[in-house]
A = this chain, B = another copy of it.
């Protein structure tokens, strides 16, 4: 280890973060609950509780379509909801830089409140720390979400099987490109907004309609590509996706083409990847499209036997491996 430094890539959601977690984090903290490496933890209380924690450091803290407050609610609500739990409670920890605008803090709190109301969750405890000017960049927020699992016990990244279909609930990459676009000196002239949204309502509708949902995950840091790789590894399956089926906003595609980004690696904050049995694919698409957050849902791939990896068939008909994100493409998008 010696003089090794933490790099931005260690927080990117990609391979370096995976290595850091597999190495140091698992070395120290390994236990059957944590080792599942889902974004949520489930503990046996009296009953089954699902828990997820996330720190938000997005830059800038206000962006088209949301702010760090909305993001901090959506990100954690979604992480708990994909477990199949009913999300009920959030904790809220602020780290604020001295000199931060009180008005902006108020706006962020209002945004948290509005989003929590929409998601039907309440903030049950919190903490505020203030650090000197220069010791943080405005404001960071940690949220921990707690949900109760009353049913839907067999949902998780280890339950995906060959034959399952892969659904994405809308156009990919909007959050990452909206953040990029709102950074100084990078303003493309688009109306692009972040897709940041609480998805627990849509998840509930899906689970009530479909009984074969194996796994749901929100493709945030590292994007669709990284999340699919995680699931392929955790379920030991191969995933084939079809580029022509992947919904994408032309503005996102345009910015990606200009800057050399692959939209498969760009973060989403209001989308789900859903794995379920082929016989329920049509019903799922119908249910999802009725929800405003799922209107562009599409089946983008299928699961087959094979060594854990992700393949894409491009629009031109060629095939290539979609690897995990290795280094940071866009730092601080959540």
Contacts and interface: CB of A to CB of B under 8 A. Distances in A.
B55 A93 contact: yes
A1 B102 contact: yes
Contact of A128 (B21, B33, B129): B21
A334 to B, nearest CB: 8
A72 to B, nearest CB: 11
A93 B29 CA distance: 13
Interface string A87-107: 011011111111111110110
A132 B57 CA distance: 10
A93 B28 contact: no
Contact of A53 (B27, B41, B45, B127): B127
**A interface: dominant SS:** mixed
Contact of A122 (B6, B7, B29, B38): B29
A208 interface: no
A156 to B, nearest CB: 13
A51 B88 CA distance: 13
A278 interface: no
A128 B10 contact: yes
A240 interface: no
Nearest to A98: B8
A307 to B, nearest CB: 28
Contacts of A132: 8, 137, 331-332
Contacts of A94: 55
A29 B123 contact: yes
Contacts of A113: 28-29
Given A28-B113, A57-B95, A122 B34 contact: yes
A46 B43 contact: no
B57 A129 contact: yes
Interface stretch (A138-146, A198-206, A245-253, A267-275): A138-146
Contacts of A40: 125
Contact of A45 (B6, B28, B33, B45): B45
Interface in A1-31: 1-12, 17, 20-21, 24-25, 27-29, 31
B46 A129 contact: no
Given A31-B122, A91-B53, A4 B103 contact: yes
A243 to B, nearest CB: 31
20 contacts: A3-B101, A4-B102, A6-B100, A28-B109, A29-B112, A31-B122, A31-B124, A38-B125, A41-B125, A43-B88, A49-B146, A53-B93, A53-B125, A53-B144, A55-B94, A55-B127, A55-B129, A131-B331, A136-B136, A136-B140
